[in-house]
Structure 1
Amino acid sequence: MYDASLNESAYVYHMLQWPFAKSIFETGRLRLSPVRSWDDPYEKWWCDTLVGRKSSLSGIQAYGLCWTLGKYDEPRWRMAGFRRNEPIVRIRCQLRAILDAGRSLIGGQAGTLYLGKVRYRGEKRLLEAATAVNSGSAKEVTRTAASMLLHKRNAFRFESEIRLLWLDRQPVQDAFFIEIDPAAVISQIMTSPYASQNEHLEIKAFVEKYGIESKMSAILRAPGVEPRRNENQRP
């Protein structure tokens, strides 16, 4: 399922610690983690509510990778780096490139891939929707589960989230992987403004071997001021 409201030529962004981003290049795989394993207690609760033992959607395993349409917000860098020791980077991909990689799974895996924009609702409406799903028999079970997993509370509206989901009925795994050609799917790597210049230069040297643009966020830099080569701004 592809969200028709999305423009395939649009860019989306994903922030993560550099060692995990580096592994994408080294393995040629995007990692989708089990939704129930996510740190956010709300996400765990929502997933259990939708596909738990007492749900009409029970038996479905859900894996996801979260992206955002937002690219200029400084607080995103601080949230991504909270309690993290490694430098944070931001991966930029075009939606079309993600879809092309996902389409390669068709016919080779027993499951369904979904790419959609998260809709934000009040908690009361979310609970009512979950109750309605669990009280009936869903005809298109995976589509219903994916649609519900693309909903979050209004408190998270600032995230402008795009979610890539894989749903199947196989035994639960530690992760689900999508094979990619990093040079074809990733168009830019940006280093956090809170990383040191030396960290950025190391990342830049690695990334540019793949022919991919590498930049350091200038969101905290005064106009015309270049960073010191040995600065370390990390909080």
Structure 2
Amino acid sequence: MSDRFWIGFFILLSCLVGVLHASAGDSDLVYKDCVEECKRTGCVKDKCFQHCRFSSDGVSIEGPWYMQEPLYLQWKQWDCQSDCRYHCMLSTEKEREILGTGPVKYHGKWPFKRVFGIQEPFSVAFSALNLGVQFHGWLSFFILLYYKLPLRPQNRKPYYEYTGLWHIYGLLAMNTWFWSAVFHSRDVDFTEKLDYSSAVALLGYSLIVAIMRTFSG
């Protein structure tokens, strides 16, 4: 009986994984057709992208796409796929709005609009604010220890024995929010890995510090 239960459970789980593989937006046929058409023609309706123009062997006709942008715009580093997905998302959402249907997620994210090349401006702003708070806290801690509290006369080091631990914590926290801001400004595989790994490192270190402080007496 138990074997049948587990077999049924795993079959159901595998079905759910298949269902949850794609978001509602990027599984929409209108959106998918738009992206494929954009990759083939380099255009979404009246808007065209130079870096989506390829020869038959898959090489960009006009050289590397990022060299076709003005210097002050090259930092965006948007590629053909990103631009096609973004503008097809906007186009599809306009059609959904006309039909009276609500927004849906695309590739795991709700629809967004770029601002000055930044993918998620509000998330970037909040991450930057968190970074500022962490920096202020770390700097205040540093000033308190080395300029306001007495130091050991023999080596001019703080009496507080966990100084090093909290310095490392502050640096890890600032690193985490920095990469969070970068990730939300430009979501690519590289920035995603740095964002997630930084967050995991901070959480892991926080656990270690908590255990050390709990059992240190």
TM-score in terms of structure 1 length: 0.24
TM-score in terms of structure 2 length: 0.25
More strand by share: 1
Larger-gyration structure (1/2): 2
